[in-house]
Chains A and B, each alone.
Chain A
Amino acid sequence: MWKYKRLIVLMLFILTIGILAACGGNGEETTEETDQDTANASEGSSSEEDSLLSGTVKLAGSSTVFPIMEYVTYEFTKENPNVDTPLESIGSGGGFERSTKGEIDFSNASRPIKEEEKALAEENGIELIETVLAYDGLSVVVSKQNDFVDELTVEQLGEIFLADSGNTKWSDIDPSWPDEEIVIYSPGHDSGTFDYFNEVILEEKPMREGEGVTLSEDDNLLVRGIQNDPYAIGYFGYAYYVENQDTLKALAIDGGNGPVKPSPETIQDGSYSPLSRPLFTYINRASLEEKESVQAFTEFLLSGAAAEGAEEVGYVPIPEEEYQSQLEDLKAIYEK
């Protein structure tokens, strides 16, 4: 028997882990088909708990929109504990990759949908409905230790960040500024923040790279880099500036109508131009029509939660009436 003992130990080991993995379902294992079509779940289980909504709301996309949606999903599941709301932070492009295939219900984005993404969705028979959640002011920041820059024009920004401007020193931009290298901290090329900056400031021309330029998807890394270097400059979402106001200085940006500092007011009324941007979520029309959970989530989102979430994490909500009118338009779709 001794010879079998070890084998038995191995079998027990595997068995224990197997049981651990399987017993999560409280005995009521769902079959594979229900996963693909979670819409059915809300109808299936309504008999036992009539008042409680169940089902799934799948969200994925921009890491910039993530904090708002994290807040909204958290508050939503507090009220509807039987609804699953898996939320992924995979970038605007990653979100559209899923939503254009119809794999998710909400596609979060920090930029409008691109033409080719739209075409792809049409090809797959998916319609995505654009909804504005809030505004984000892209803040251009320097360290508090920097005492020579307070404002920049859009052209100067271009001169600092563009590769072919050939300027690498502060004195190249303005002779009265110190003869020191400009150290650049920028979000990485996959982020919607970079896309946006690329579009309005760089105008799709290549950004400076190599020595003195740090690219990172981790905004906190950018913050830390800029904090302690008086000759560093960088840009990221307004929320990260708000959290680090004591060590960072946001620059006033002159887009042609005089320098404007980012603030909730200037971002919402559009005077902080061209660096304020809307944050979106794109709703899958078919899920909105069919899934009760998605309808409930949409209503929750647009009647207060998005605004609270935006404020909570440092973005700027859109005016109350705009949330209302968007919600009415969406309601018209599913309350037929």
Chain B
Amino acid sequence: MPLRNQDDMYKRRKRRTAKNNIFRTLFFTATTVGLIVLAMLIYRVLSQGTGSLSWDFIRNFAAPYPDEAGLLAGIVGSLYLMGIVAIFSIVVGVSTAIYLEEYAKKGKLTTFIQMNIQNLAGVPSVVFGLLGLTFFVYVLDFGYSLLTGGLTMSLLVLPIIVVSSQEALRSVPSELKEASAAMGASKWQTIFRVVLPAALPGMITGSILALSRAIGETAPLLVVGAATAIYSLPDSVVDSYTVMPIQIYSWISKPGDEWPLLAAAGIIILLIFLLIMNTIAVLIRNKFQRRY
């Protein structure tokens, strides 16, 4: 005689697999919700925007007529802005992370700084715009220029870069550092030759993802005076400029049927830029990541 009733066992197993299936479907649906929304968004943008995409759209400045309007000022402005943001935020962000992880003693002050950086990451972007307005425009007198916009955006993405760089530094095993120190290397030599190279892929990935956030932001730039319509490219970092999201936004709010189509085309270009940046991030991570 069997110890357990076979039928009963089958029944229980059935119930357990059923439960498993229910949760699997639940989680799968949750995943697909996001995917479906994304697919709908992309479909809508593509179906509306591809008609307006052409070389002229990339080569022309904005115009009051839909068939002459282009995104040139926005594309170039966004690229310059990203350049400034990259230089400033990566240098400052990575340096901050190195200080916090390698030099700072773990104490109340470090915890306090750490907490504030994490809080900064959650501050609404328009607040950074106001900060940029008072600090860069009024105090430092940079005017409503590309430089002001770039520095404001740098402040916005700085916390993200600091936190992701810290993560990258932390993932470098301490054995490596100890080995380096045991060989007689100074702290700086260890950081420069051992820790940084090992943490670099993580840092670059985080930085590029932070830049992708900056390229889509509008609110802070409106506050620090990016132009809505401009027919010249910036000659220097203290010149006027506009960026892609602002141009797209101004097209969406115009009366007339053709403007939303142009906005959709603008969104496609913006998406292409985002996609390129994210691909670079993934490629760097895959190519250089070494596991210890």
Chains A and B bind each other: yes
Residue ranges of A at the interface with B (Cβ–Cβ < 8 Å): 3-7, 9-10, 13-14, 17-18, 20-22, 24-26, 28-30, 32, 35-36, 56, 58, 60, 63, 66-67, 69-71, 73-74, 77, 84-90, 103, 217-220, 223, 239-240, 242-244, 309, 312-314
Residues of chain A within 8 A of B227, CB atoms compared: 86-88
Docked pose: A60 CA to B228 CA in angstroms: 9
Q: Are B143 and A35 in contact (CB under 8 A)?
A: yes
Docked pose: A217 CA to B232 CA in angstroms: 28
Min CB distance, A237 to chain B, in Å? 8
Cβ of B196 within 8 Å of any chain A Cβ, yes or no, is: yes
User: With contacts A218-B252, A314-B255 known, is A17 near B86, CB below 8 A?
Assistant: yes
Please name the residue on chain A nearest to B83 by beta carbon: A21
Residues of chain A within 8 A of B76, CB atoms compared: 24
Please name the residue on chain A nearest to B201 by beta carbon: A6
User: With contacts A25-B236, A220-B253, A239-B255 known, is A85 near B90, CB below 8 A?
Assistant: no
Cβ of B193 within 8 Å of any chain A Cβ, yes or no, is: yes
> Which 9 A-B residue pairs are closest in the complex by CB-CB distance?
A21-B83, A86-B240, A86-B227, A243-B255, A35-B238, A89-B228, A77-B231, A71-B64, A87-B229
Q: Are B232 and A24 in contact (CB under 8 A)?
A: no
Cβ of B233 within 8 Å of any chain A Cβ, yes or no, is: yes
Residues of chain B within 8 A of A71, CB atoms compared: 64
Which residues in window 208-260 of B have CB below 8 A to A? 222, 225-240, 242, 250, 252-257, 260
Residues of chain A within 8 A of B87, CB atoms compared: 14, 17-18, 21
Q: Are A30 and B235 in contact (CB under 8 A)?
A: yes
Docked pose: A86 CA to B255 CA in angstroms: 21
Q: Are B239 and A84 in contact (CB under 8 A)?
A: yes
Taking a contact as CB atoms closer than 8 A, the residue among A3, A35, A74, A240 that contacts B229 in the complex is: A74
Cβ of B63 within 8 Å of any chain A Cβ, yes or no, is: yes
Cβ of B166 within 8 Å of any chain A Cβ, yes or no, is: no
Q: Are B232 and A84 in contact (CB under 8 A)?
A: yes
Q: Are A30 and B238 in contact (CB under 8 A)?
A: yes
Residues of chain A within 8 A of B62, CB atoms compared: 70, 74
Min CB distance, B138 to chain A, in Å? 10
Please name the residue on chain A nearest to B240 by beta carbon: A86
Min CB distance, A336 to chain B, in Å? 30
Residues of chain A within 8 A of B204, CB atoms compared: 10, 13
Cβ of B57 within 8 Å of any chain A Cβ, yes or no, is: no
- Most chain A CB atoms below 10 A, which of B200, B233, B237: B237
Cβ of B97 within 8 Å of any chain A Cβ, yes or no, is: no
Residues of chain A within 8 A of B63, CB atoms compared: 74
Min CB distance, A49 to chain B, in Å? 15
